[in-house]
Amino acid sequence: MYTKEEAKRVRQQFWTMFGKRYHRKWTLYDTKIKDVVLKFSFEDTRAIVSLDLTHDDDFFRAYYWEKLESLQSLMRAEVHEELLFDKEYLLESGKTISRVYVYMANVKIQKQTDWPIVYQFFYEHMDVLEQFFREYKDVIAE
């Protein structure tokens, strides 16, 4: 079992190595749409690439959610066929967001032998998600 400090060090090492391996500027929080973010996440046993609607106001989240739902078949065709749409995704922090995502199961951040496959998963899926977002940003933002 890891202490908090050891777990923090492992997470930092994972993300530092990812940045070195795939050195490029990701869109992530710089979508130019308030509370719409592209995100890499590594939870206990799965890695996630997502488009998150994080607005605290349910009205604004629902507004953008309708736009994403209208693009659902296109997103599945262009990003990933098994893309999941979760209108009320509960984060580990207890906050509810709306999330469109794809994930890789049965990986652990503490297991360094998992890192190369997670890095590749992150790169491939975020790359196509960013491309899709750039192409349909005006539809989502309008």
pTM for the model: 0.90
**What is the per-residue pLDDT across 57-68, written as a single tens digit (0 to 9) for each?**
889 999 999 999
Percent of the chain predicted with pLDDT > 70:
99
Q: Which domain does 36 fall in, by range? A: 4-141
Taking the CB of residue 134, how many other CB atoms lie within 10 A of it? 11
Task: Quote the number of domains for the chain.
Answer: 1
pLDDT tops 70 at residue 54: yes
Report the pLDDT value the prediction gives residue 142, as an integer from 0 to 100.
81
CA 26 → CA 29, 35, 59, 93, 108, distances in Å? 9, 16, 28, 24, 23
Confidence of residue 1 (pLDDT cuts 50, 70, 90): low
